[in-house]
Structure 1
Amino acid sequence: MEAMSVGARLASSVVGPLVKKLFRTDGPGAGLVDRPVRVSSLVSFRGETRTLTDVELRKIAEELVERAALSTGVSERLPSFEKRAVVNAVTHSLCFMEHIDMDDVQAVQLGHLELSRSLRSSNPAATIGLSSDAVLLHAQVVDTACLHILHFFTTRSTFVPRTLVEQSRRIEELSSKIDTLIMRTPSPADGGFEARYASYISTKHGKLTIFGLDLATASAAWPLDAAYLSLEATGTAAGGKMPLTMPAEHVLAGRARVLLRGVAGSGKTTLVQWLAVSAARSDVDEHLLYLHGLVPFVLPMRSLTRAGARLPAPDEFLSAVGCPIAHAQPTGWYDRVLTAGRGLMLIDGIDEMPEGEREEARNWLRDLVGSYPRNHWLVTSRPSAVQENWLAGEKFTELDLAPVSRDDVAAFIKRWHKAAGSADAYGKELLYAVRAKQELDRLATNPLMCALICALHRDRRGYLPDGRKELYDAALSMLLSRRDRERGIYKTGDMRIGETHQVQLIQKLAYWLIRNGRSEMDAKDVVDLLSQALTSMPRVAEQGTAKQIYHHLLVRSGLLIEPVEGTLQFIHRTFQDYLGARAAVESLDFDFLGGNAHLDQWEDVVRMAVAHARPAERTRLLTGLIERGDSSKDTRYRLHLLAAACLDDATELDPEVRTEVQRRAERLIPPRSVDQARALADVGPVVLELLPGPEGLTSDEAYFTVLAAVRIGTDAAIPVLTRFRAAEEKRVRAELALAWARFDTDRYAEEVIADLNEDDCLYFVVSSSRELRTLRRFGGRSYLRITSPLGVEEMRSHCVPDRLVGLCIAADMRCSWDWLDEFPRLVELTLETPLPEVDVSSLKDVPSLRILRVPSTVRTVGDDVLPPTLKIIRTG
């Protein structure tokens, strides 16, 4: 058998049988043991009845070291004397088990890595003078041995106390988790490479480029831990009848396959980075334990399909994304990882592929999932890029990234100003402006727009334009000229290209990308395109060659980046679409724009083209969309809704054209699916006055109408939502209760929450202390779902004792639950925790409680002391 094959099988076929020789075999009557056993009494190489001699113990160590050395590739690099020294060190480490002052249960609870560290530290002199390869080999052998030692303990009949039911169940769960750890532990053949790869992932994806933080003395790279804003993902619960919400970073907890939709700038790529870095870390947060041991593969579709390249096979994943250590991956490594179900497949940006190539991408995904079904899969896309149920055949759950709540916007503004080193006054002033001005409030719906607003507010010393086009114009001005001029970067002899000329050059690059359906282009194509443009721009051409001007734009514009050497892309797709639309209008390509308007990649381009166009040109564009939609049954819905969405950007338009656009939109209302609700929300506030109901609507139409109004998100939607307060359909009212955090707390409470029908055990969602206090003003509610970590005193003070019947805690409160005895009518408690275990023993002091719901993946500690009247129900 070749070395790599041995390495792949070392953990299961070699270590397990060898470990068993280190311990005594259970004799007759072992099953009657009802207490833990000392580790020192289990070993087979001590005492008068020892069954393993010192020579045999050393032979076990020799075999482990030799196999590990072969499988890790260090065998040829280690001289024989160092191998002997490693064997000595491993032998001494294993011998120390006879001196361990703990029992087998304590050892299992300690964990294999801590046990390994304890054994290795027992003889620190054993590795003195050894090379780094030898020290690493010693650690890997002992780590792997300890994992199997603990697994051996959990499978012994004496380990399970037959008379202790609760302890038996806990031991069974521990055994299952150790089995999972064994499955997720790389073989020694792969451990060294995976450590390097994890370091690469943490470095590559551990920082974010936040718009505006490259100004003044602030760094453009923001540490991911400081920058990450926990967003929410929404969908429908099993059966598709009730709205569902969860932290976005938990979308793969309990779900193996997810298709996540989100608008441009909503944080999809940031979430991908967060998951990748969290999986790569050895100290995974206990809320993200489901990521432990997984190997992240970050696969941005724009990079995979660069220059029309075919989609890669698994062995090409690393090289396809430019990973510099791709060449070092052990032979067959990817297959071992994916076959074992250890892959975290993060496929980002299906929408960044040309629409005609997405079917090929779906087939590629189907083949991958079919070949390696046991892995975790996350696929991201803009909402309109793929149809509903696009991957339903592969059992993907479809979720949406929700717009940021008002509290999230406030948190982002505070973090941005702290990172930028700005005075608190700027942040407070901006926060007030966003809440006071409806137009700004509507724009601040995702991290990109929040960062854009923060940067412009500081750069313009408090002045902010109102509309989206004006915001982008101001951002371009700030990036292309003002920041360098105000920072005093220019020196005598420097290349100076004015803002107008920079825009002309960069928008040609943007339009080329759009016309070719790409998000990246080769540097050679950039230079060729600039060379053509410079023939008509002599004042710029005389300052340098096309290559020099390209370098100047890359370094100074703030709009362009090179993700890998020799490849260009825009800092964000939104700027590409904005400048590409400007180029299309200047080229009078209105028929070309209209001819591509049915393609999702052109939607934002068309909307921005309407904003750039003059009144007569807007008329031409919108009339074309209407007429083309009228004549095409397949694209009618998309084109007519796109025309309606453009009204928000049409500052001046022929009234007759506006009327015709609105008339077409009315025919598409009410929405009858999630996709239609999303599309209507994209139209903006103008659609609110067209939304009907609840009279005359089916239950589905009522739900999707509410969903559309909620997603629009401005306070202008509140009067529409108010009409549905008494709806009979529970999921409609559940969506209204869930949406509170997206609107002004007091106004929404008074107009919607106060009179929301509570029938059918409707849970009211509370995401802040202010909302909880507001509910108390209205007499409290019978069913509450708490989604933020409120303090126990707040809960006791603001929940109404004689009103509360059902309580759901969907946040990490980490408290004892005995305080719930102050609520005499409380009969149901639901704990939606991402933690692996929760102590419920204190619930014995809550006599009214009859039902406790916990996720099936969470271990309950102390449920053996709960009264028989309390029933535990496992969910999910």
Structure 2
Amino acid sequence: MDPAVRLASTVADPLVCQLLLPVEATPDRARADKEELLARLVSFRGENPPLSYEALLSLAQELVGLTAPAHRLPPGEEEPVAAVLSRTLWITGELDTTDVQAVRLGPQDFARKLRSAVPGADRELSPEAAWFHDRLLVTVCLHLLHQLIRRSPVLADRMPERAHRIRQLIDLNDVEAVRGRPEPSAVDAEFEARYARSIAEQYNRLTIYGIDLPNPNTPDNWSLDATYLSLSAEFSSPERREESGDGDSGEPVLPADRALGGHERVLLRGVAGSGKTTLVQWLAVSTARDVLPPELASLRGRIPLVLPVRRFAREGFPSPDNFLRAVRHPLADEAPDGWVARVLTEERGLLLVDGIDEVPETERAALRDQLRRLMRIYSGNFCLVTARPSAVEPNWLADEGFDELALAPMSRDQVAAFITAWHTAAADDEGKDHQRLADYRDQLLSSIPLYRELRGLATNPLMCGLICALNRDRSGSLPQGRKELYEAAMEMLLQRRDPERRVLYADAVKLRRGARERLLRKLAYRMLVDRRAELTMDEALEEISRSLPAIPSTAGQGQPEDIFNHLLLRTGLLREQSDRSVEFVHRTVQDYLAAKETVEQGAFDMLLDHAHEAEWEEVIRMAVAHARPAECARLLGGLLAPGRKGMQRNRRRLLAAACLEHVTELDPDTHTRIRRETRNMVRPTTLEGARSLGWVGPIVLEMLPDPAGVSDKEAHRLAVTVTRINDDAAIHYLAQLRNRASLELRAELARGWRNFDTDRYAEEIIAHLDPEGLYFPVSDRYELAVLRKLGGRARVQIGGPFTPDELLEGLVHEQLTHLWLAYDLGVSMEWLAAFPQLMTLRVNPRLPRVNGVPDGIRILS
């Protein structure tokens, strides 16, 4: 969060202190050990307030006068802005907000709360003046909260992370208010121009699974410009959700790149293949080229520093002077001495730390401490950190002011866009079936919504790419299930890829699928055992040399170097770095192959030793899928064995339950035991626990309690779990909750729509929900059309990229009374005049200000 309109504390403190009563004038606060209503602390309320409204207006005028010159406020706008600011601050004395609640909200959200309490106060301001007012209000709130913390040490004790972040922002304001950003030296500027070009070139390539480029020796990749798909993300604010009590988190689903706007530090979570690294690449390239969208204007002029954690996982977080060497950047040896440190000192850095889960769990705390220290020393730099969802606990970096985002599963429209882009790109490869690509595309577009298995798999770019490639490779005959999908992919890439492309004599090595896969499995297993995401060239050659004598078909095929080059060039599963180290094209591929080799070697004890660690989860699931019945029973029984306590024990037991969906054959006793020992674990007591339970999968549905016998609070938590399980049986369970009156439960059921078949969910859930007070969300055109078929609703939430014409056609004009924008439509709102009953427009606070709203429509944020 960046206030944008800054005031040094030496200037702000004497003014903001006037908004509060002196400590000696508030005897109840002498002990400073309890919450207090702000209305009792401000100096402009009560029978004989020390600060009259006229004095408050004068103070607001002084604040505007101090900051307006730097922001070129239009002539004649200073007094209207001051009038709105004084009205907004005045409302502080009428709220039932306590000092603790205000500090917990933070300056940005507290400012939003004040604005929403005086709706329409800034209606007469120009867009530029309204922007200025909002940013100045955030700055005033920041200094006000800082004064509250200074007056009451209990606030800092109860909320150390929030108090630390507020102090940090005060320091940042003090620095920025007294100095501008310095211009880099001529030497630094020349290097930065070359560095920006190298970043744009290095990261402007994406792997497009199953697309063959004309050069058979080139890995399958494509231009980022041609293939980037903006995915969606959700803010994670469990504390706010659990405290709100109205069944409404207020958090929209936004394009992931747009969601980053206005946030200085973000921890981004996403499952394997969900697009985390692609987003990092897009940010790096867009910043280096200075082609950022308006929402990310705060990143302009910054230097992207891409830090893939796998590059330094063993050595720990590098110092700034070693950033480029640690990630093996090609210009590392040419950078001016101390350049990165200067960039960070001048607060011009964009730190992109990709893949915290690449570090062993036992070493993540040390890595976090190193990152914390870096961010405290260089506090004014932007930072994005990515991780798999379960790699780190909630609020892992909250004490450093990091907001949390989670990449959402791809929506129906995003899946369709990806499939269309994939087949468009495929039309430029060497394939002989270009005339059939349109048929393959249309077949997938119609099949995925119809088949649960495909719908459940096609939730991220990695899986969508594999589905597209396999559908083409098999002329429209797709495998079912995750394991079968990967097995078919291995067959396509390891056996059929070269012969069908007529690449028969690219090198002297001729290996069939079995030999290729075994050697790749050995490399993946070595990485697993060594807890590595890459191998040096010497390590890879050493592993191949050790394995060759046991694989007869490799005899006479050449030296280990020849075999390695064959695997690198011919399989499309390995990727070589500039220093000749090697890694798999995706961690999921590595996990799949490592799991198969683990089962082959019978290394079940090793799996069990690490089963409570998040980065081993996918390996263990795939190992269960590959294991024979007795091996499967041994592995699952080991997950239930005593010896672990607390969260480790719970995680292992839930993993055993999650593995049941991958089992081919298992003795009934083991199956019964898993069900028995996990049954009582599926009644979470918190919303965070309910969300986490969803990852276990469909097996949870068999263990959940009868919905008829639970309270509304527990029913809400059960809905949070079940709406995250992509299985048709989940709809049947949720249907048993649909007639309850609880608004937070009905809101959760409505939000779950996007995770299931649209028509069936609408018929069995949406159509039965009591509409009283409930906003019905629509995120794509199909949902909008289905809601219209149901007769429309009075309250609708817009959660997708619609045009005004689409909404004018899809919404029922006479029905709509409340509209909630949870997505930035990027257009003026005059079109709302077509809805005669519309009374309220609710705009999510994270979205830009709307304009053009017709008179008579109340705006809430």
Percentage of identical aligned residues:
45
Corresponding position of 1:282: 290
Q: How big is the shift at 1:384?
A: 1.7
Equivalence map 1:78-89=2 (5 Å):
none
Q: Does 1:818 align with 2:830?
A: yes
**Is the 1:722–1:752 contact (alpha carbons within 8 Å) kept by the matching residues of 2?**
yes
> Structure 2 regions of 5+ residues with no counterpart?
1-66, 82-124, 140-175, 243-247, 428-433
Q: Does 1:775 align with 2:781?
A: no
Q: List per-residue Cα deviations over 1:632-682 (Å, max 9, x = no partner).
A: 444221111111111111111112211211222212112334554454323
2:326 and 2:76 map into 1 onto residues whose CA distance is 49
2:347 and 2:713 map into 1 onto residues whose CA distance is 38
The 3-state SS of whatever aligns with 1:711 is coil
The 10-residue stretch of structure 1 (358-367 or 320-329) with the greater mean CA deviation from structure 2: 320-329
Q: Does 1:428 align with 2:442?
A: yes
The 3-state SS of whatever aligns with 1:535 is helix
**Is the 1:808–1:831 contact (alpha carbons within 8 Å) kept by the matching residues of 2?**
yes
Q: Does 1:790 align with 2:802?
A: yes
Q: How big is the shift at 1:800?
A: 2.8
Corresponding position of 1:212: 210
- Seen in structure 2, the aligned counterparts of structure 1 residues 392 and 416 have a Cα distance that, compared at 3 Å, is same
Q: Does 1:489 align with 2:495?
A: no
1:184 and 1:208 map into 2 onto residues whose CA distance is 34
2:482 and 2:466 map into 1 onto residues whose CA distance is 11
1:181 and 1:487 map into 2 onto residues whose CA distance is 64
1:158 and 1:632 map into 2 onto residues whose CA distance is 64
**Is the 1:337–1:343 contact (alpha carbons within 8 Å) kept by the matching residues of 2?**
yes
Corresponding position of 1:526: 540
The 3-state SS of whatever aligns with 1:754 is helix
1:296 and 1:204 map into 2 onto residues whose CA distance is 12
1:355 pairs with one of 361, 380, 383: 361
Equivalence map 1:85-164=2 (5 Å):
none
Corresponding position of 1:852: 859
Corresponding position of 2:641: 627
1:158 and 1:461 map into 2 onto residues whose CA distance is 63
Q: How big is the shift at 1:169?
A: 3.0
Corresponding position of 1:198: 196
- Scaled by the length of structure 1, the TM-score of the pair is 0.74
Paired letter, 1:223: S
Corresponding position of 2:104: none
Corresponding position of 1:641: 654
The 3-state SS of whatever aligns with 2:448 is helix
The 3-state SS of whatever aligns with 2:240 is coil
2:813 and 2:407 map into 1 onto residues whose CA distance is 35
- Seen in structure 2, the aligned counterparts of structure 1 residues 770 and 502 have a Cα distance that, compared at 3 Å, is closer
2:191 and 2:845 map into 1 onto residues whose CA distance is 34
2:74 and 2:518 map into 1 onto residues whose CA distance is 78
The 10-residue stretch of structure 1 (592-601 or 509-518) with the greater mean CA deviation from structure 2: 592-601
The 10-residue stretch of structure 1 (537-546 or 698-707) with the greater mean CA deviation from structure 2: 698-707
Corresponding position of 2:58: none
The 3-state SS of whatever aligns with 2:630 is helix
Corresponding position of 1:325: 331
Q: List per-residue Cα deviations over 1:706-729 (Å, max 9, x = no partner).
A: 232222223332122223334455
Corresponding position of 1:24: none
The 10-residue stretch of structure 1 (591-600 or 161-170) with the greater mean CA deviation from structure 2: 161-170
The 3-state SS of whatever aligns with 2:406 is strand
Q: List per-residue Cα deviations over 1:361-399 (Å, max 9, x = no partner).
A: 111111112112222222111122111222222232223
1:453 and 1:399 map into 2 onto residues whose CA distance is 27
The 3-state SS of whatever aligns with 1:317 is helix
**Is the 2:823–2:847 contact (alpha carbons within 8 Å) kept by the matching residues of 1?**
no
Q: Does 1:505 align with 2:503?
A: no
Corresponding position of 1:106: none
Q: List per-residue Cα deviations over 1:731-771 (Å, max 9, x = no partner).
A: 43333222322222221112111122334x33221122332
Q: How big is the shift at 1:340?
A: 3.7
2:701 pairs with one of 688, 706, 712: 688
**Is the 2:206–2:221 contact (alpha carbons within 8 Å) kept by the matching residues of 1?**
yes
1:478 pairs with one of 492, 503, 508: 492
1:611 pairs with one of 621, 625, 632: 625
Paired letter, 1:805: T
2:447 and 2:74 map into 1 onto residues whose CA distance is 68
**Is the 2:801–2:823 contact (alpha carbons within 8 Å) kept by the matching residues of 1?**
yes
Paired letter, 1:420: A
- Seen in structure 2, the aligned counterparts of structure 1 residues 831 and 708 have a Cα distance that, compared at 3 Å, is same
Corresponding position of 2:569: 555
Paired letter, 1:405: S
Report the number of matched residues.
Answer: 695
Corresponding position of 2:129: 169
State the structure with bigger RCO (CA 8 A, min sep 6), 1 or 2: 2
The 3-state SS of whatever aligns with 1:347 is strand
The 10-residue stretch of structure 1 (461-470 or 447-456) with the greater mean CA deviation from structure 2: 461-470
The 3-state SS of whatever aligns with 2:681 is coil
Q: Does 1:227 align with 2:247?
A: no
2:474 and 2:229 map into 1 onto residues whose CA distance is 25
Equivalence map 1:411-490=2 (5 Å):
411-421=417-427, 422=434, 423-490=437-504
Q: Does 1:710 align with 2:728?
A: no
- Seen in structure 2, the aligned counterparts of structure 1 residues 793 and 508 have a Cα distance that, compared at 3 Å, is closer
The 3-state SS of whatever aligns with 1:521 is coil
Q: How big is the shift at 1:349?
A: 0.8
Corresponding position of 1:862: none
**Is the 2:775–2:797 contact (alpha carbons within 8 Å) kept by the matching residues of 1?**
yes
**Is the 1:824–1:848 contact (alpha carbons within 8 Å) kept by the matching residues of 2?**
no
**Is the 1:674–1:704 contact (alpha carbons within 8 Å) kept by the matching residues of 2?**
yes
**Is the 2:266–2:405 contact (alpha carbons within 8 Å) kept by the matching residues of 1?**
yes
**Is the 2:792–2:812 contact (alpha carbons within 8 Å) kept by the matching residues of 1?**
yes
2:678 pairs with one of 643, 651, 665: 665
- Seen in structure 2, the aligned counterparts of structure 1 residues 430 and 388 have a Cα distance that, compared at 3 Å, is same
Equivalence map 1:292-303=2 (5 Å):
292-303=300-311
Q: List per-residue Cα deviations over 1:347-369 (Å, max 9, x = no partner).
A: 11111111111111111111112
2:316 pairs with one of 310, 319, 324: 310
Q: List per-residue Cα deviations over 1:601-655 (Å, max 9, x = no partner).
A: 22111111111111111111111112247x6444221111111111111111112
Q: How big is the shift at 1:546?
A: 1.1
**Is the 1:740–1:748 contact (alpha carbons within 8 Å) kept by the matching residues of 2?**
yes
- Seen in structure 2, the aligned counterparts of structure 1 residues 197 and 762 have a Cα distance that, compared at 3 Å, is farther
The 10-residue stretch of structure 1 (477-486 or 779-788) with the greater mean CA deviation from structure 2: 779-788
Corresponding position of 1:801: 813
The 3-state SS of whatever aligns with 1:672 is coil
The 3-state SS of whatever aligns with 1:800 is coil
Q: How big is the shift at 1:599?
A: 1.6
Corresponding position of 1:249: 257
1:738 and 1:260 map into 2 onto residues whose CA distance is 21
Corresponding position of 2:558: 544
The 10-residue stretch of structure 1 (215-224 or 229-238) with the greater mean CA deviation from structure 2: 215-224
2:177 and 2:328 map into 1 onto residues whose CA distance is 31
2:779 and 2:287 map into 1 onto residues whose CA distance is 28
2:672 and 2:131 map into 1 onto residues whose CA distance is 70
2:656 and 2:79 map into 1 onto residues whose CA distance is 72
2:838 and 2:599 map into 1 onto residues whose CA distance is 63
- Seen in structure 2, the aligned counterparts of structure 1 residues 703 and 349 have a Cα distance that, compared at 3 Å, is farther
Q: Which has the larger radius of gyration?
A: 1
The 3-state SS of whatever aligns with 1:398 is strand
2:80 and 2:841 map into 1 onto residues whose CA distance is 27
- Seen in structure 2, the aligned counterparts of structure 1 residues 701 and 231 have a Cα distance that, compared at 3 Å, is farther
